[in-house]
Each structure stands twice: as C-alpha cells, then as structure tokens.
Amino acid sequence: MRVLVVSESSLEQTNGVSGSIRHILDRFAGRGFDARVIAPGPAPQDGTVAGYPVEEVPSFPIQRFNVAVTTKSSVIRDILDGPKPDVIHVAAPISKLGHAALIAGDEMHVPTVAIYQTDVAQYARRFAREAVTGEKGVEGTAPAAGATDGSAGAWPRHTKWLRRIGKAAGEQAERIVADRIARMHNLATMTLAPTDDARRRLETFGVDPDLIRLWGRGVDTALFSPARAADPRTRAWRREWSGDGRLPVVGYVGRLAPEKQVERLAALDGLRMRLVVVGGGVSEPELRERLPHAVFTGMLHGRELADAYAALDVFVHTGAEETFGQTIQEAMASGLPVVAPASGGPLDLVDEGVTGLLFDPHDEDDDDLRDGVARLIGDGSLRRSMGAAGLKAVQGRTWPAMVDRLIDYYHLAMELRMAQDG
C-alpha cells in the first residue's frame, strides 16, 4: 500500500501529532508499506522518519507551533511526482497545508483520512479571552486570594465589562475555528476521532456524523511497564524523590504550556508527598515559581521517560482541553492510578473509581483535584488496585493493534471513494 502522510506539525516537535505519526510510520516500515511524508519544517536531520522521506514545506511559528504556508493543492501533486498514493493520511488538518492535501486528494480521486487530534477551537477560545483580559487560567475560575498583580498565579484587576468582552471574544474565536475544522473534515473521505467526546464535539462543529469513525492511540506496553521499577535508574530516582520511601511520589508528564494547565498542581501544596514535573516548555519558568517544592526533570524520552513513570505512585493529568491524553495511557501501562479532569479524552480513558479518579475541571480552587490526590496518596491498597486495573485496561491498546485498525479504515476509505466516483 502507498500512503502519503501529511502532518500539520513538524516531526521535530514533541507533541501528540508528531508522536503518533512516528509510531505509525514505524509499523508501516515493518509491513513493507511505501510511504512519503509532507510536514512543516524543520525536517529530521537526515530527512527521513522510519526510513521514509520527509518533504519539508515552508512554515512560520504561531503559539509555539510551526504552521505551514503551502496554499495550493498543486504543491502536493508536484511533491508526489510519480505513482499516486492509495490513501492520503492528513494529521490534524487546520492550516493551509491540511486544506491543500484534502483538495489534492479530491482532484486526484484519492481517498483522504483526516485525523482529529487537537481541539484548536478550545485553544482559540482561551487565547482570545486572555488577549483581551490579560487573565491566565481556567475560564470561570477565581484569582488566588489577594492576587491583584500580573505575576504568576495572579489575575490583574479588570472591570466586569472587560471580562464580558473577553468572554465574547473567546466564544467568537471558538466559533470561527470550529467552522474551519468542520469545513476541513467535511472535505475528507473519512474522519477519525480519538474518543466519543471528540466525536460529539466534531458533530457540534458541523462535521457530517456519517464521515466520523473512532480510532484511538496506541501505547508501547513493552516500554511503559511496572517492570521498570527494578531498573537502577528508576530505583535511584525513587529513593531521591520519595526521601528513601518516606513520601509518596505524585507526577505530571507533558509539555509545560498554558493549554496544559499545569499550574493547577499548586492546589497540591501542603499535601504530604513529593511532586515531580516531567517535561519542558515555555511555561517552565512560571511553573517553577508557582511550584517551588516540585522536582523538575526537563524533557525525557524513551527509557528515561518510562523509568520516570515507574518511579511514581500517582499520575496527575491537568489539561481539560485534551482530545485524547496519551500520557494517561502511558501512566496506566506503567501501573499507575490516574487523577484527571472529567473533560475531553480522559472521560474515555479513565474508568472513574476503577482505574483512577476524575475531578471537576471547573472547580475554582481545584479542591476536587486535591481531594483525589489526597485520597490516593493516603491509601496504598487503592493505589495498587487502580494501577492494576489501568494496566489491564491498556493491554489491547498496543500500537500494532491500533495500526491494524487504521489500515482497516484505509481500506474502508478506499471503498467509499470508489463508490463516490461511481
């Protein structure tokens, strides 16, 4: 099978889009597929991923992401310059590159499979609101007691009318982006949504329900495993972070960016535990001020990342705007109980009271988050039972299994396109 993969994200960036593509291409290589990749720069140093060539298109940065400036479907056709693909896989279409790929597919009578991975509409809502009000944080939450300046964690004083304008600006931005998402995905032969919540959200945007199928993400259960607790590095970190076993270790893993809402972890201050933050990003300086007692490891990958998970007792996911939540699956594969917001992807991934605890994402003081963590760090038996249940739940979600399902969807898209062309 010949597959053209078009990514809206540079494969050199660390995020869910690029990570999924790398896993998919690894499995394509094992199956002998012929694949090519088109993505914004920078391209990998050797110009390939999993042995497949990566064609770099011009891009410019917006909100820390490189957005492609390709505007014409002819650019996609010129890059191919040979046998046309059997299917075009378009990852997270939102910019001109994704649009060009979808149009090119239609012009070449090639089925297109669009992957919905990022809730850009939610991001647009928050960015627009913050641009007007200057306030940072979860919409609708109150500022910290006594906070009146613009420092980390403080909300500036604003009049009610300015907040109303900010709210209206956010809602308008969300509608504009939602309309664009719907137009994009309605051009595709098929759209794959990661969760039921994401499917429903796409439908509210205006995406044709008949075009949507469910396709989650895989997790490397060989890499992320409770067995890594015996690794020397894991044991060393465990001793260091827990104070030789005196404290339970609570951890967050992910990018340190405003949309990840990592500042919520400040609600855990005063609990008898050690907080570990694994990741890096633009919010790190602010978060170091907000979380002065936390351990910051920086970005970790591969075995180092797996060892860090294995050194934790409880995993906390803070972002309420996730379409999926890959780190939740990695934590579950590592045998950890999860505390996550009752919103977006976590609703499908976390079985409340069985594999973890869900907290109210609109709780102004994050008391619900704090209570969930406190409950788990105070009950070792509950931690172990939830961790075991989570481990069992992800056993069927391996990347080979998920890529098999993806290929089945490719074949279905090919059938749908043939029927469409008559």
pLDDT per residue as tens digits for the range 17-32: 888 999 999 999 989 9
Residue 353: pLDDT over 50: yes
Q: Which of the listed CATH numbers 3.40.50.720, 3.30.390.10, 3.40.50.2000, 3.30.460.80 matches domain 226-393?
A: 3.40.50.2000
Residues 67, 108 contacting (CB under 8 angstroms): no
Overall average pLDDT of the 287-303 stretch: 97
Of 8, 400, 416, 409, nearest to 215 by C-alpha is: 409
Overall average pLDDT of the 191-215 stretch: 96
Percent of the chain scoring above 70 in pLDDT:
88
Backbone angles phi, psi at 10, to 5 degrees: -60, 135
Least confident range from 56-65, 134-143, 173-182: namely 134-143
Q: Which of the listed CATH numbers 3.30.70.940, 3.20.20.140, 3.40.50.2000, 3.40.710.10 matches domain 2-120+169-218+399-421?
A: 3.40.50.2000
Of 95, 82, 90, 91, nearest to 111 by C-alpha is: 90
Ranges of each domain in the chain: 2-120+169-218+399-421, 121-168, 226-393
Residues 390 and 224: their CA atoms lie apart, in Å, by 12
Residue 410: pLDDT over 80: yes
The helix-helix angle for 160-187 and 96-107 (nearest 10°) equals 20
Please tell me the predicted confidence (pLDDT) of residue 66.
47
pLDDT digits (tens, 9 = 90+) for 86-136: 999 999 898 888 999 999 999 999 999 999 988 887 777 777 877 777 766
Backbone angles phi, psi at 278, to 5 degrees: -105, 120
pTM score of the predicted model: 0.85
How far is the CA of 200 from the CAs of 206, 360, 361, in angstroms? Answer: 10, 20, 19
Find the length of the chain.
422
Of 352, 347, 312, nearest to 331 by C-alpha is: 312
The helix-helix angle for 196-205 and 160-187 (nearest 10°) equals 100
Residue 298: pLDDT over 50: yes
Q: Which residue has the higher pLDDT, 141 or 15?
A: 15
Least confident range from 34-43, 355-364, 387-396: namely 34-43
Least confident range from 58-62, 316-320, 355-359: namely 58-62
Domains 2-120+169-218+399-421 and 226-393 share a fold: yes
Least confident range from 55-59, 61-65, 109-113, 367-371: namely 61-65
Name residues whose C-beta falls within 8 Å of residue 246's C-beta, 6 or more positions apart in sequence. Answer: none
Residues 205 and 8: their CA atoms lie apart, in Å, by 20
Overall average pLDDT of the 130-151 stretch: 53
Percent of the chain scoring above 90 in pLDDT:
68
Cross-sheet strand order for the sheet of 274-278: 295-298, 274-278, 249-253, 314-316, 338-341, 356-359
CB atoms within 10 A of CB 230: 9
